[in-house]
Amino acid sequence: MNKSPAFGTTRIKICGITSIEMAAVAVDAGAESIGLVIDVPDSPRCLTIDQAQAIAHALPPAVMSIAVLQDPPDALTEQWTGSWVQLHGSEDEAFTCRFARTKHIIRGFRFDPQQVLRWNACQGVELLLIDGSTGGQGDLLDHQALADMMPQIEKPVILAGGLTADNVAQAIRTVRPFAVDVSSGVESSPGVKDAGLIRRFCQAVRDA
């Protein structure tokens, strides 16, 4: 997997999907992956494992379903039947590498140069999701600062944090990420996805 896409091929991840219907909208708009927030009580996008599995099973085979977890217990991680997991809590390298024996790992974290280098060096991590916050809060990060670090990063980067249809094209041109991730930027209110905003976002990525 190349760490940077060829021009015009930036992948799209729509995170915080809470229904089969909205997952279908995202896929139809062009999303290659869907993020499902599982057992994170303080998130307005929180699902039970059963709800998340139902959405994942309804997706076309080519669309990646990603369980978004924070410090999950072993019982929860064993229940997830998908192959991809995004860890977005305080999990350390030992936990991540142990989990990576059975799952593909995306490591999500707030942008910080030391954290970028830390997780880039972790053998259990396949992709880095670099956010402007601890996740789902819609905070932009310093895109130019991340762009300056890109030559040091070997793993593919998913750019997240405060992206919308209005700013994603410039973010792509600056950072040149493997993929972009959006959650609150395609919502009409916290946790409520808007079909029109999803379509506008995906079109803006394609136009970039």
Find out whether 111 and 150 touch, Cβ atoms under 8 Å: no
CATH of domain 11-207: 3.20.20.70
Q: What pLDDT, on a 0 to 100 scale, did the predictor assign at position 140?
A: 84
Q: pLDDT digit of tens for each residue in the chain (208 aa)?
A: 334 444 448 999 999 999 999 999 999 999 999 999 999 988 999 999 999 999 999 999 999 999 999 999 888 888 999 999 999 999 999 999 999 999 999 999 999 999 999 999 999 999 999 998 655 556 789 999 999 999 999 999 999 999 999 999 999 999 999 999 999 999 999 999 999 999 999 999 999 8
**CB-based contacts of 21, cutoff 8 Å, min separation 6:** none
Nearest to 88 by CA among 139, 134, 154, 140: 134
Per-residue exposure over 65-104, b if at least 16 CB sit within 10 Å of its own CB, e if not: bbbbbbebeeeebebbebebbbbbeebeeebbeebbeebb
